[in-house]
Amino acid sequence: MFIFHQLGVYKGTNKTVFKYRTSFISLIRKEIKAMAKLIQDDQNIYGRVFFKDDIDTYKVKWNESGVANFYLEPQFDSLNLDLFILDQEQNLIESSLQSTGLHELIKLEVSANRFYYIQVKHAGDIGPNTDRNRYLLRCKIYPQPKDTRLKYLDSKYSVQHINQKKYPKKRPAVPMNPEYVTIHSTANKKSTAQNERNWLTNPLNKRQASFHIAVDEKEAIECIPLNEVAWHAGDGHGNGNMKSIGIEICESGNRESTLDHAIVLTAQILKKHGLSISSLRCHHDWTKKNCPRILIDDSKRHLPYETWAWFKEEVLRYL
Ligand SMILES: [Zn+2]
């Protein structure tokens, strides 16, 4: 749903390091002093990569204005890289000068049809081993206006309530006036939103646990009415269960798309119930459970910046 761009550069021979990335821009690499062109199908971004000395320069232009998130990810801990963003007159706008390891996100308001230069500089001696000389520059653009995205999600939202009489354990029909929204992740790498919905009514599932909405890379499914209690927070008759809408983020499919969906959905649900960002909770807040693990557990998140604090910040952008 979102326009998602990634720029990738490798120096070395092993391309497979990027295999897990989706929507990867095809890259044509030429020899020394030559340039590589980054080509992308939807033409919202394009750039050139120059391999000269130890600075790579990307010239990038967006068709639309929006907020661009840049993120530099060395593929080896020992690779020291600095990231600079320059305007079309080549004045420095932003830089990330952490000398080693994973770099922090740079957020930048970009204008339509303006060039930006993105420079990646090797900091310090990188040594003769070209395999170490490898990194990934990621850039994600959130184009305006955001309203179109909200509309898009509406068309992907379906209501498939579980039958109250057949599944009273999971859907107790206790009226609820929601004061919070609680985020979970499914802890199941394979199941989609539809799988999660179907599991609620699977005869093999004897558990009481339930949730209101499951969201994945493609859609969101409402399984229990949002004005009824569902058992998702593990805090008994506490506020997590009794006063909050439980959203399960699926761990299947494309993580970026899934999180984008979850962010917009969460904002929509908060808005609809007159709630602010201070009403947003994660499961861990209620019971210290490692959930949503894809946002709070370093070993489960796909990208280092996909933290709970980041998620909240993104939701806030849509409120
Ligand atoms: Zn949970």
Q: What distance in angstroms lies between residue 147's CA and the mean position of ligand 1's atoms?
A: 29
Q: What distance in angstroms lies between residue 99's CA and the mean position of ligand 1's atoms?
A: 36
Residue 278 reports pLDDT greater than 90: yes
Compute the mean pLDDT over every residue in the chain, rounded to the nearest whole number.
Answer: 75
Within a domain: 270: yes
The pLDDT value given to residue 60: 73
Within a domain: 292: yes
Q: What distance in angstroms lies between residue 63's CA and the mean position of ligand 1's atoms?
A: 39
The model's pLDDT over 2-59, given as tens digits with 9 standing for 90+, comes to: 222 333 333 333 222 222 222 222 222 222 222 223 323 222 222 223 333 466 677 7
Instruction: Please indicate, yes or no, whether residues 223 and 96 belong to a single structural domain of this protein.
Output: no
The pLDDT value given to residue 62: 67
Domains of the chain: total = 2
Pick from 144, 165, 199: which residue ends a domain? 144
Instruction: Please indicate, yes or no, whether residues 50 and 92 belong to a single structural domain of this protein.
Output: yes
Within a domain: 104: yes
The pLDDT value given to residue 73: 65
Within a domain: 99: yes
Q: What distance in angstroms lies between residue 155's CA and the mean position of ligand 1's atoms?
A: 26
The domain of 55 spans 6-144
Instruction: Please indicate, yes or no, whether residues 138 and 163 belong to a single structural domain of this protein.
Output: no
Within a domain: 157: yes
Residue 94's DSSP bridge partners are 85
The model's pLDDT over 83-98, given as tens digits with 9 standing for 90+, comes to: 888 887 888 888 887 6
Instruction: Please indicate, yes or no, whether residues 123 and 196 belong to a single structural domain of this protein.
Output: no
Read off φ and ψ for residue 125, nearest 5 degrees: -75, 125
Instruction: Please indicate, yes or no, whether residues 183 and 237 belong to a single structural domain of this protein.
Output: yes
Question: Of 89-98, 226-235, 291-300, which range is least confident?
Answer: 89-98
The model's pLDDT over 96-117, given as tens digits with 9 standing for 90+, comes to: 876 555 566 788 777 766 778 8
Q: What distance in angstroms lies between residue 232's CA and the mean position of ligand 1's atoms?
A: 6
Instruction: Please indicate, yes or no, whether residues 81 and 176 belong to a single structural domain of this protein.
Output: no
CATH number at residue 59: 2.60.120.380
Residue 204 reports pLDDT greater than 60: yes
The closest of 86, 59, 82, 62 to 72, measured between CA atoms, is 82
The model's pLDDT over 125-173, given as tens digits with 9 standing for 90+, comes to: 544 444 444 566 666 666 655 555 556 677 789 999 999 999 999 999 9
Tell me the pLDDT band of 119, cut-offs 50, 70 and 90: confident
Q: What distance in angstroms lies between residue 177's CA and the mean position of ligand 1's atoms?
A: 20
CB environment 77-104: b (16+ within 10 A), e (fewer):
eebbbbbbbbeeeeeeeeebeeeeeebe
Residue 257 reports pLDDT greater than 80: yes
Q: What distance in angstroms lies between residue 280's CA and the mean position of ligand 1's atoms?
A: 14
The pLDDT value given to residue 184: 98
pTM, two decimals, is 0.64
Q: What distance in angstroms lies between residue 20's CA and the mean position of ligand 1's atoms?
A: 26
204: tokens are 């093999």
Q: Which residues touch 291 (CB under 8 Å, ≥6 apart)?
A: 184, 185, 187, 282, 283, 284
The pLDDT value given to residue 311: 93
Instruction: Please indicate, yes or no, whether residues 122 and 241 belong to a single structural domain of this protein.
Output: no
Tell me the pLDDT band of 236, cut-offs 50, 70 and 90: very high
Instruction: Please indicate, yes or no, whether residues 91 and 185 belong to a single structural domain of this protein.
Output: no
The pLDDT value given to residue 74: 62
Within a domain: 43: yes
Containing H/E element for 284?
A: helix 283-287
**Higher pLDDT among residues 318 and 269, named by residue:** 269
Instruction: Please indicate, yes or no, whether residues 42 and 157 belong to a single structural domain of this protein.
Output: no
Instruction: Please indicate, yes or no, whether residues 96 and 214 belong to a single structural domain of this protein.
Output: no
The model's pLDDT over 57-82, given as tens digits with 9 standing for 90+, comes to: 777 776 667 777 777 666 555 566 77
CATH number at residue 275: 3.40.80.10
Instruction: Please indicate, yes or no, whether residues 282 and 294 belong to a single structural domain of this protein.
Output: yes
Within a domain: 1: no
Pick from 144, 161, 193: which residue ends a domain? 144
Within a domain: 303: yes
Instruction: Please indicate, yes or no, whether residues 127 and 169 belong to a single structural domain of this protein.
Output: no
Pick from 144, 172, 195: which residue ends a domain? 144
